[in-house]
Amino acid sequence: MLYDKARIFVQAGGGGNGSMSFRREAHVPKGGPDGGDGGRGGDVVLVCDDSLRDLQSFKRKAHYKAPRGRHGEGSQRHGADGETLAVKVPPGTVVTSWDGTVHDLVVPGTRVAVARGGSGGRGNARFKGATHQSPRFAERGLPGDEGWIELRLKLLADVGLVGLPNAGKSSLISRLTRAAPKVADYPFTTLEPVLGTIEGEDRQLILADIPGLIEGAAEGHGLGHDFLAHVERTRLLVHVLDLAPLDGSDPEANFATIEAELASYDPRLATLPRILALSKADLVSPQAAEEARRAWHARLNPAAEREAWEDAPDEVPVLVTSSATGQGLDELRAELLRRVPPLEAPAAVPGLPEGEALAEHRVFRPAARAGFAVEPAGEGAWRVTGDAVERLIARHDLDNEDALVFVERRLHRMGVIRALEAKGFEPGDDVEIGGVVFELYPG
């Protein structure tokens, strides 16, 4: 069974705490502070791995936690950083983070950090100065990012076979490639996409047999709606149409149903190049098959009367095929190799000086949200919100007098005290920052 959806919880490692330590040596009665910094927590990174084909491994394990950074120690020994946790995903995986960020992992080897480790706290040696020579506090490490992320696999295929259930797609891909899908004389025999490979002289084409679509598939009806995403990446579609439906339905209506569902799911699918494969030609007479081919070609190519219409780039070829007898399969194989162009190397980047190599990638990280907000939280109580002030409180133990003095000094420099006084703050009022409530006596 193909697993193409997963939901996992990722948690980056927290930063290590800084150390509060003082140097102790023989014959040195007043050694200075020598506490080291804590290490940074490990990141959780998704790695595109070509050895994987689906998301089955995430059904057995859904929680991934990176190690935290080590705490700092005396003698200015810094804690080690936590190791990065690499989680492998197959090519074609689309990742949606809890904050709405979307990553599309297509190229093997691509790495994306979905949860970043928390920074380590500074040891007391970092706070030593001319006016404060023996700081008796250190910072705590910050927690890492954590949250649920959605994984969705979209198969990487050059050609997608689409059509109604029992149209003959599975039989067709089994004859064109070495794939071995389930083939039977009833609908919905294909319950998951099947991949096969066509070998050309100098390249390969990957074909994907998509489970049968029905009317309303784009809205969630039937089985095929779960697999419509797998045709998004294809560069050409082969619409397989049964020449002689067993249920007596109209082939024209069947064709319109599939085309409408593709366009409803993604308008881009309506613009993809097409090949119409009229299947099961062995069940009708050769004359009827040829008449159907001519009628469909005229319907899909209104300008076919012009000379050399075969060379028109927007022409929709119509081929009569039979998986039972092999009729038309060589022509279809050749048409696929001709219609699907090889992937070209990226074009030169305009504006880049000749001879200068373009960096493999650049990383842009959003800056932390600047500023803060002050609001009343009751009589004699105030609440301050903002990333910077909340990180400041999270890093320090406010039961430590030295740490509290340092925090008050930082709040002065950040302008928080002035903002509180402008709102009517009085010394001794309660202030809540980041869920921590304390009495503030600015001095």
Using an 8 Å Cβ cutoff, are 275 and 236 in contact? yes
List Cβ neighbours of 324 (8 Å cut-off, separation of 6 or more). 171, 280, 282
Alpha helices for 115-249 (secondary structure H): 169-176
276: amino acid identity, one letter: L
pLDDT band at 184 (very low <50, low <70, confident <90, very high): very low
* Same fold yes or no, 159-339 and 373-439: no
For residue 40, is pLDDT > 90? yes
Q: Tell me which of 2.30.110.10, 2.70.210.12, 3.40.50.1980, 1.20.1250.20 is the CATH number of domain 1-153.
A: 2.70.210.12
C-beta neighbour count of 431 within 10 angstroms = 22
The residue written with tokens 């100065």 in the block is 129
CATH class of the structural domain 373-439? alpha beta
Most trustworthy range by pLDDT among 57-66, 191-200, 336-345:
57-66
- The whole-angstrom separation of Cα 133 and Cα 119 is 25
Residue indicated by tokens 């990180």? 391
With CA atoms as reference, report the closest residue to 162 among 220, 206, 207: 207
Please tell me the pTM assigned to this model: 0.71
The amino acid at residue 170 is S
What's the residue count for the chain? 443
**Helix H or strand E encompassing 439:** strand 436-439
Domain 159-339, CATH homologous superfamily name and number: P-loop containing nucleotide triphosphate hydrolases (3.40.50.300)
- Check residue 303 and give its pLDDT: 64
pLDDT digits (tens, 9 = 90+) for 298-331: 888 876 544 444 455 568 889 998 888 888 889 9
Mean pLDDT on 402-418: 89
DSSP designation for 372: -
On the question of pLDDT at 39 being above 90, the answer is yes
Structure token digits, residue 360: 């493999």
Give residue limits of the domains in the chain.
Answer: 1-153, 159-339, 373-439
β-pair partners for 279: 242
Helix (H, G, I), strand (E, B) or coil at 394: helix
Residue 2 confidence class, pLDDT cut points 50, 70, 90 = low
| Strand 159-162 with 102-105, pairing | unpaired
Judge whether 16 and 39 are in contact, CB under 8 Å.
yes
Amino acid, res. 386: G
Question: Does the structure show a pLDDT above 70 at 10?
Answer: yes
Determine if residue 278 is left, alpha or beta; phi over 0 gives left, psi from -120 to 50 gives alpha, anything else beta. Answer: beta
Half-sphere CA count of 209, side-chain side, radius 13 A: 28
Does residue 72 sit in helix, strand or coil? coil
Higher pLDDT, 90 or 357: 90
Q: Label residue 87 by pLDDT band (50, 70, 90).
A: very high
